[in-house]
Amino acid sequence: MEETLSLKTELAELDKRHFMHPTSSIQMQQKNGPEFIFTNGEGIYLNEISGRKFIDGMSSLWNVNIGHGRQELGRVASEQMSTLAFSSAFSTYSHEPAIRLSKKLSDMAPGDLNVSFFTSGGSEANDSAIKIVRHYWKLLNKPERKKIMSRKLAYHGVSMGSTSATGIKEFHEMTTSLAPDFIYAPAPKPGMSESGNETVNLICIKETRELIEREGPETIAAFIAEPIQGAGGMIIPPKGYLQEMRKICDEYGILFIADEIITGFGRTGKLFGIENWDIVPDMMTVAKGITSGYMPLGAVLISDRIHGELIKSSKGTLFHGFTYSGHPTACAVALKNLEIIEEEGLVENSKIMGKEFAKELKQLEEEHWTVADGRNLGLLAAFELYEDPQNRKRFDSSLAVSKRVLQKCLEHGLILRSITYEGSDTIAIAPPLIITKEEVGKMFSIISNAVGAVEKELENEGFLKK
């Protein structure tokens, strides 16, 4: 025990001194050190250095789809490293893992998305998609088509292009280096995603048309959208919204890019989130679940139509690429990961467990006066916390209600995520796709107890059930 405590103290001090964490409070890290130091994982669980065990209710960063501790992927990585750990894909050099993975993605993807451009992750994939569509329009002698239309509360990454496509103001305020020619369409909000809510759908579509007309459709290269907005609030679009957006893009000649970084590879009960609406995009970006986080990898999947134009009209070298585009070891790990997803029926399990999620979310609303707008598609879920759910009145942000629920969950061994943009109190849930019915029940029991404990605190503070 003393040895473990000594190691934890040592690592915490080294962490504070030398490790600048992504998307973290620098002040909090310097004051308290790392909140957790994880040592190993197995299935849906993560183990911390002090011996505590947690359910990974967020698949870490929405990405560990096949669960932790899968030795099969370690063996594949070792075998590939011992033969060809790395080889460049520049200058048309190639290798079998990238070729095989390109073909596999072609087989899995909807429609004619048959060509892959590989990256190291999601931000790079979205950046690449943006550059490729602008290159495409230049080849068609329409260089004025360079604007990228995303949506408010969209999240597309943190490189310059993908940050600029992100529609969350906090990411814009962090820097002074946003790229020009990005515009933001309205998007549905949490609590407005019921299948029959035609009013919200019509308002979003009407305002999007107005934006396109105002900007000039001849200047817009592409519309990029997450099928379900993840980091911006886990927003499932209302019935008909995405189909209408596809029609609008076709009408104005705007390319449709589906950002499947979170929703890809089974998360929603379909292989890809966009398939829930029977839409085939012109391009699709993937990462996260492609390797279940075991290796960094992303890709842009490109339609035959766009690829055909690139073949026809490109001259010389395509001056875009990353050192690790098509990394052999990452591609080998991805192939094994996709094999596991298929052989273990994890897409179907996501769909089945999603039905259990829906039941649990409904029960949560029935049992707790603060809870409303529970929603899920497969194993991508969320619910809202309100002072007055019936009138959708939010708690004052200074109360940090969702973060208090999150802390109670952590105390009982469950990792979730709170989303608080624009004053919301959203709890997001996205466990590994291997989760069982028993584990779903255990997770929601912890959530219910945590919400109940916070509700008691709020009642003591003078808040009453409406």
- For position 194, which CATH number holds? 3.40.640.10
112 and 206 in a single domain? The answer is: yes
pLDDT digits (tens, 9 = 90+) for 49-67: 999 999 999 999 999 999 9
Stronger pLDDT, 183 or 202, i.e. the higher one: 183
pLDDT digits (tens, 9 = 90+) for 96-141: 999 999 999 999 999 999 999 999 999 999 999 999 999 999 999 9
Residue 89, SS3 per DSSP:
coil
Within a domain: 5: no
**What is the DSSP code string of 61-74?**
HHT-TT-B--HHHH
Residue 351 has pLDDT above 80, yes or no: yes
40 and 92 in a single domain? The answer is: no
pLDDT digits (tens, 9 = 90+) for 228-258: 999 999 999 988 899 999 999 999 999 999 9
How far is Cα 385 from Cα 172, in angstroms, rounded to an integer? 26
- For position 57, which CATH number holds? 3.90.1150.10
**Beta strands across the sheet bearing 45-48:** 38-42, 45-48, 53-56, 414-415
Give the total number of structural domains in the chain: 2
Average pLDDT over residues 168-194: 83
139 and 254 in a single domain? The answer is: yes
Could you give the percent of the chain with pLDDT greater than 70? 97
What does the buried/exposed string (b/e) look like for 229-243 if buried means 16 or more CB atoms within 10 Å of the residue's CB?
Answer: bbbbbbbbbbebbbe
Within a domain: 13: no
Within a domain: 147: yes
How far is Cα 121 from Cα 126, in angstroms, rounded to an integer? 9
240 and 370 in a single domain? The answer is: no
54 and 87 in a single domain? The answer is: no
Residue 451 has pLDDT above 60, yes or no: yes
pLDDT digits (tens, 9 = 90+) for 121-133: 999 999 999 999 9
221 and 290 in a single domain? The answer is: yes
pLDDT of the residue at 196:
46
Within a domain: 246: yes
The H-assigned helical ranges of 116-159 are: 122-139
233 and 112 in a single domain? The answer is: yes
54 and 82 in a single domain? The answer is: no
Q: Which of 309, 343, 377 is the last residue of a domain?
A: 343
How far is Cα 265 from Cα 262, in angstroms, rounded to an integer? 9
pLDDT band at 2 (very low <50, low <70, confident <90, very high): confident
Q: Which of 343, 372, 388 is the last residue of a domain?
A: 343
Q: Which of 289, 316, 343 is the last residue of a domain?
A: 343
100 and 147 in a single domain? The answer is: yes
User: 57: Cβ–Cβ under 8 A, 6 or more apart, which residues?
Assistant: 409, 414, 415, 416, 429, 430, 431, 443
Within a domain: 6: no
pLDDT of the residue at 239:
85
230 and 100 in a single domain? The answer is: yes
Average pLDDT over residues 76-84: 98
87 and 134 in a single domain? The answer is: yes
pLDDT digits (tens, 9 = 90+) for 182-201: 999 998 876 544 444 556 67
163 and 194 in a single domain? The answer is: yes
Residue 466 has pLDDT above 70, yes or no: no
Within a domain: 466: no
pLDDT digits (tens, 9 = 90+) for 417-446: 999 998 899 999 999 999 999 999 999 999
What average pLDDT does the chain have?
Answer: 95
State the pTM of this model.
0.96
pLDDT of the residue at 117:
98
Within a domain: 61: yes
pLDDT of the residue at 200:
64
Q: Do 223 and 211 form a contact (C-beta atoms < 8 A)?
A: no
How far is Cα 49 from Cα 40, in angstroms, rounded to an integer? 9
Within a domain: 465: no
Could you list the residue range(s) of the whole structural domain that residue 60 is in? 36-66+345-460
pLDDT of the residue at 4:
80
Average pLDDT over residues 56-83: 98
232's tokens: 């911006």
pLDDT of the residue at 193:
46
pLDDT of the residue at 202:
75
pLDDT of the residue at 198:
58
Residue 344 has pLDDT above 50, yes or no: yes
Residue 77 has pLDDT above 70, yes or no: yes
Average pLDDT over residues 329-344: 98
pLDDT band at 176 (very low <50, low <70, confident <90, very high): confident
413's tokens: 């061994």
Residue 456, SS3 per DSSP:
helix
